[in-house]
Amino acid sequence: EEVAQLDDHEELAAINVQRAVVMQRRGGAEDLEGANEMYNRVMRLRIAREREIDVTVLAVASNNAVTLSKSNKGKLLDALKRINLASKESLEHKLTKKQRLDIAINKILLLLQSSRIDEARRECQRLAQDFPDNPRVAVAQATVAYKEKKGKGAEGA
């Protein structure tokens, strides 16, 4: 019981997220399930405790949990809420460039899955300003352009 309480302590949230990242990178079904549970436990701690968990830890947990979520409609909406938490402007100075890029790319992909193409296009424009020569931004822009074209073709049919 004491171990369970210690495992859920807010000061260990960063370590638990790091453990979850390792599990996620291993890639086995059990590891992915365990990682997702750890990310969710850290995010629940934020709600259940009076003390705040570091926002960068929450951002990483939110972003990584999004990448593990399945693509059904209810989970997409939940994932969008999480990615919005992870991409708050107040975090910009605390996250590395790579983390900011990863979160923004994931947000664009979620917006596209949710058929929110206009928002995805705006995110791409912002991303192109922040990371002008990054090839991942070019791929995101191409994906948005493809989705726009596909949607326009479907409207004409």
Q: What is the pLDDT of residues 69-128, one digit of tens each?
A: 765 456 667 777 777 766 676 667 788 899 889 989 989 998 998 889 999 999 999 999
Check the CA dihedral 121-123-128-131 and report its sign: negative
User: What angle, rounded to 10 degrees, do the helices at 73-86 and 97-113 form?
Assistant: 150
Higher pLDDT, 5 or 38: 38
Cβ atoms of 62 and 85 within 8 Å: the answer is yes
User: Is the entire prediction scored with pTM above 0.75?
Assistant: no
Residue 129: pLDDT over 90: yes
Residues 6+ apart with CB under 8 A from 46: 52, 53, 58
pLDDT(144) > 60? yes
